[in-house]
Structure formats: structure tokens, C-alpha cells
Amino acid sequence: MEDVQIDVSPDTEHGVVAAPPTITFDVDPSAYRHWALSIDAPIATVTMRVTPDAGLRDDYELKLNSYDLSVDIELHDIVQRLRFEHPEVHAVVVTGGIDKVFCAGANIQMLAGSTHGHKVNFCKFTNETRNSIEDATANSGQAWIAAVNGTAAGGGYELALACDEIVLIDDRASAISLPEVPLLAVLPGTGGLTRLVDKRFVRRDIADVFATRAEGVKGQQALDWGLVDAIATRGRFDDVVRERALARAQASPRPDEADAITLDPLDVQLRDDGLHYRWVDVEIERSLGAAHVTVHGPTGEPVSTPNELLAAGSEAWIIATARQLDDAMLRLRFNEPELGTWVLHTRGDADGVIAAERLLRSHVDHWLVNEVALLWTRTLKRLDLSSRSIVTLVEPGSCFAGVLAELVLAADRSYMLHGGDPAGDSPPATIRLSETNDGSFPMSNGLSRLATRFLGHDDRLDDARRCICKDLLAVEAESAGLVTFTPDDLDWDDDVRILLEERNSFSPDALTAMEANHRFAGPETMETKIFARLTAWQNWVFQRPNAVGPDGALRRYGTGSRPTYDRVRI
């Protein structure tokens, strides 16, 4: 991650400093400042040892393994690299590198001095990273175990909750806690409360006591309440953790020995009007508050076997494009919050996209191919979970096929040009679904985007499935319910312009709430609960004076004076 400069322009409402103007998310392991990774196959140990003066900004210190976005960016990188670069790792132990301290949670001074938008985006990215830990346990054969070697407070316990097992040291001093409600007037990153009852099945009344007890819970009581899976004395702690990690490793389907790839640094060119990667371009249209994101289809011979994928490494289109799109979305989220509409385009050959993704269908049992499919799943979920209006434009020369057809299905609205290319350079626009669109990349609700689109209309879903492997022209795509509108070339420019102008005229808050409600129809899951509450409740709580006002809990924390609360319940 590159160094950033602090922007000290005040937030007009609360007098806090703003988030840094430029944040990058690509980091090399040699530049880690907060984590150490060691591997003794089949176990990897991830040790959190936060450098206090190496935060994203210089107006706070990351004491006692407290963290900010810079710490989470490194953790996100570690999770990705373990999955792609270390097939021999079957279990991952995460622990604290400071005596009697696991993690003190999100740094309070960082939160108090951040803009509202940065706080919410920070919580969202943190939860997405924890989801990737859970995904690695569930789908990659890398079970994560939290070795809580000392106090774990707030986000520290939330990190442990993301793991599949929690072992707490029983030394009469170390406690786990979620103290945000009693001390800070906010929620435990939202994910903490949800994981208590939805993942660990802690009884509601017990969860209430725990989440309002600032001092937390220790040893046997934590075990009795279901807050941890095991406790161990200091003398037995390391042995118990290793025994549990080895047991999980033995059940892993990952190979004991296999070639792997290296996730090479992303090559991105920063421009005043956007970003440029090898396969992804971002062009900014500030007058309309829009970012045009173009994904380019592959060229040349497709990678068709696992061995070819290993040889191509992270430069293979099927890997590189997902990584570049993911990075572009994160940069837009944090660095361009006023670009409220993301307009998605593709350019290239649909046959090439189908040929490139065929690998995902024909070698589903290969560990690396599985990781590529999971990477696309996480990247597309990141798109779903972004608080932006998503518009997809299907034009002549586009390649919305297979995995890239997900960009049409993910859109809040999609427009497809009816008729030929006005310039005469390309054949009419088409959409081509493949088998991957029918469940290979599930949303947070556990359904495919295709099934979510036709929720409650099984007949329409069956009709759409019959379109798989067909090149659908605009009239056919509209009839199948795959696009919203199909204007011809006479109306196209005006219709798109009016849409973007209209979107830019609406309240961003209302749009975020509306879109979040529409996107996740169907079953409620732990993921949808976490992000629905993050979008609505935490968004609201982080703006309330009880938390962020001059007399609020975040501003008063550590000063010795108590916060002043508006007692009205809303």
C-alpha cells in the first residue's frame, strides 16, 4: 500500500478530519507493517503485531493491536495469497503478537477523526474481508482458527468470530468483549452482533448481556455461553491450538503438494479522469457523477487446463480481470464517493469470454480453478454490496457473455441497443448466458443473480435457462427479461443521458436505501443481514450526535469525561 497524505479539511458537521484523498489496496508482502505470516505445512500462522505509527493517517497511534484500514488491507492480501499461493496450507491460525493482547479492535481515535463515509466504508471492507475468511473455511479447505492469546475487544473479537473455531487463553485476565454499545454509542461493526446469534447461535438474552458488558467475559463463562469453542491454560494454549488446527487440516480437500501461482502486483495507471489496467478501464464523468467501467474480453488462445492456468499465473485473463475489477471498485468506493453511478461496459469477443470461462466448468475439482471461481464470486458480491447505482449498457462490440453477463444481471437498470451499430463497425449487440450464470457465482442471499431476478416466477426462470448458450439480440433479451430497456440508435444517447442526469439529481441516501432493498430479494442469510444492517443502521448511528457529536461517545472516549446523550428513541 502506498503512503498517503492526510487531508485536514474539517467535516463541517462534527469538526473531524477527512479520510486521506487517495487510498490504494494493492500491497506486497515485503511491505507488511502489521502482520507476520509463517508456514509450517499444513498450518499457517498469521500473527497480528500492529506498528503503532504506521496507520493510514498520522493523527492517531495504533496501540494495543488496534487497527485501521491499513491493517485490514494487509489482512485482505494475506487471505488472498494463502488461497492462491499456498495450496499446502490446510488450516490457518490467527493470533496476537503482543503479550496478553489479541486485538483491541478498531482504533477509536481513527474513528473519531474520520469522515462519516470513511467510517462506513471501513466497516464494509472489514466485513467483506471477514467474509472472505469464512469463505476460505467453507469453500477452500483452509479452516481459520482464532488463537485468542489475550484480550480481544470489539473488532478484535469480531476477527475471532470470522474464524470457524475460537480458542481463548484461560489466564484469569484475558477477556473477550463487544464494548461498542456501552462505551462508544455505536455497533460492533454490525457483523459482530449478527455473527453472535446467526453463526454461533448464542442465546438472545445472553448476547444482550454480553454486548452491554464493557469489561467482557473470561475463561469458563465464555465457553459456557458459547462465545468460544475451547479454553486452555497458558501452559497448554499452544498445544491445544495446534491439535485443533491439525485436526481441521486432516479434513481438508486441498492437495498436500501442488504447484501454485504468485499474485503479482497490479499494474494501474492513475489519471485525472480515471484508471487504466490491462483489462479494465475507468473513465470519470464528473458532471453526471458517473464512473464508466469498461471490462475488456480476452485476446489470444484461452487458458483451458489447470496446467496452462498455472503457467499463465495471475496474468491469465480469468484471474487478472477479477483482480483489476475488484481493485477498481475499492478505489472508487474510498476515493471517489461523489461518483454515485457506475456505468458498466464491456468490449471484446463473446466467444473469447466463453472460451476463457470454460475452464471453470470443466475443471471444477482442481484447487486453483476452484479458487478462481470463488474469486469471481467475491468480486461480483463486492459489486452487489457497493452503495452505488449500477447501470449496464449493452452495445455493439460488447461481450456480455458468461461471467461478464453477470454484470447485466447485477445492474439496477440495463439498456441494450436495438439494431445495428450506427457506425457500421460491429454487429448488433448480443447477450449470451452460459451455465455459469445459473449458480456458479451466488449472491450474498445464496441464489444466483438469474434466480434472484426471477424470484417467484419459476416459469420465467425456466424460460431464461432455455436461453443459455444462445446469442440474444435486444428484442430477445428484453422478451426474456434480461434487460430493462432496448432503445434504438435514434433514442439511445438521449435515453442514457436522461437516466444518468436523473440518477444524479436524486438523494444519494434515498438511492442507497432503495437499491439495497431491491438487490437482495429472497432468502435472508448472515451476509445479507450483516450488510443490510451496515447500510442502514450503522450508517445512521455513525451520523448521530450520540456517537460523533462534540459531546458524543467517540469524541469523549479516553478523555475522562462522560458523553452526553440525546435520550429520544427513534
The residues annotated with a catalytic role in the active site are 106, 155, 158, 180
Q: Give SS3 for 236.
A: coil
CB 291 within 8 A of CB 285: yes
- Report the alpha-carbon distance of residue 331 to residue 325 in Å, rounded: 10
| Grid cell listed for 280 | 479494465
Number of H helices, E strands in the chain: 22, 22
DSSP state at residue 521: -
Please report which helix (H) or strand (E) contains residue 463, including its range. helix 458-465
Please report which helix (H) or strand (E) contains residue 44, including its range. strand 43-48
- Report the alpha-carbon distance of residue 112 to residue 479 in Å, rounded: 51
CB 244 within 8 A of CB 228: no
| Grid cell listed for 192 | 459482530
CB 161 within 8 A of CB 191: yes
**Phi, psi (degrees; rounded to nearest 5) at 409:** -70, -25
- Report the alpha-carbon distance of residue 268 to residue 279 in Å, rounded: 10
How many residues can be counted in the chain? 570
Strands 431-432 and 471-472: antiparallel
- Report the alpha-carbon distance of residue 512 to residue 60 in Å, rounded: 31
Which amino acid is it at 561?
S
CB 200 within 8 A of CB 228: no
Work out the widest C-alpha separation in the chain, in whole angstroms: 77
b/e for 184-211, b at 16 or more Cβ within 10 A? Answer: bbbbbbbbbbbbbbbeeebeeebbeebb
Helices (H), 304-398: 306-312, 317-335, 350-362, 367-385
- Report the alpha-carbon distance of residue 331 to residue 530 in Å, rounded: 22
> Taking the C-alpha atoms of 39, 152, 73 and 517 in order, what is their torsion angle to the nearest 10 degrees?
120
- Report the alpha-carbon distance of residue 552 to residue 561 in Å, rounded: 10
- Report the alpha-carbon distance of residue 81 to residue 99 in Å, rounded: 27
Please report which helix (H) or strand (E) contains residue 103, including its range. strand 101-103
- Report the alpha-carbon distance of residue 434 to residue 414 in Å, rounded: 19
